[in-house]
Amino acid sequence: MRDFGKAIILEDDIVVSPVFLDYMNASLERYSDNPKVWSISAWGFPIDSSGLGDCYFWRCPHCWGWASWSDRWQYFKRDIQWVFDNFNAHDIAYINFDGVGNYWNDFLLNAQGKIKSWAIFNYLIAYKHNALTLTPNISYVKQIGFDGSGVHCGEEGNVFNTPYINTKFPISYPDKIIESTLALERVQDFTKHLKKPFHIRVKNKLFRSLKALTGGGKQT
């Protein structure tokens, strides 16, 4: 990112749409000079896409196929004390999708040394910059790594994937850079009905990957 001013990032257990790069590159170009757009996501929650347009803005950056610019990433820091000093109850409610999720717990687990992740800090910093993430109405990527072996395993993997990968391009962009209240409402509803919270599922996946990388146990 330092060399080119922008970057597209993928994990190795992501399957991408044939038009993934078209969408990402066009979006990076479109919002390159607008700091209100924190990042470009290729993944979005598998919610009802009707009425959302081809893509929409909302609060939470995602890490399953994403892109950003160096002038925004320069603000990233994993500073636990800074978060404690700068976040109040109102801020925490926002981070938790207005009280529906429990993303703040990810930060607390980092503060306690129980996990070490960057994604929650990226979200917190984006919020403090009043910035949003462009998100497709249907994902341009499919996550295949939730079971730790690269294939799906029941609801644990499938619940976060849409029935098909988005292949639409060109697309129409939102007229204004404001959060979609409709998308927020649908994500809140989706989150309420999860048998296991989204942030716990992601942590479980990352923990399995870490164990495999460090030889602490084989993936199951």
pLDDT at 211 over 60: no
pTM: 0.84
pLDDT at 157 over 60: no
pLDDT digits (tens, 9 = 90+) for 184-210: 999 999 998 885 544 444 444 444 434
Percent composition of the chain: helix, strand, coil (DSSP 3-state, to 5): 35, 15, 50
Residue with tokens 């503060």: 111
Specify the pLDDT at position 1: 82
Q: How many CA atoms lie within 13 A of 26 on its CB side?
A: 14
For 5, other C-beta atoms within 10 Å of its C-beta total 12
Distance separating alpha carbons of residues 125 and 72, to the nearest angstrom: 10
Structural domains in the chain?
6-214 (3.90.550)
Residue 130 three-state SS:
coil
Distance separating alpha carbons of residues 61 and 140, to the nearest angstrom: 15
- What the block records as the tokens of 70 is 């160096």
Distance separating alpha carbons of residues 185 and 162, to the nearest angstrom: 18
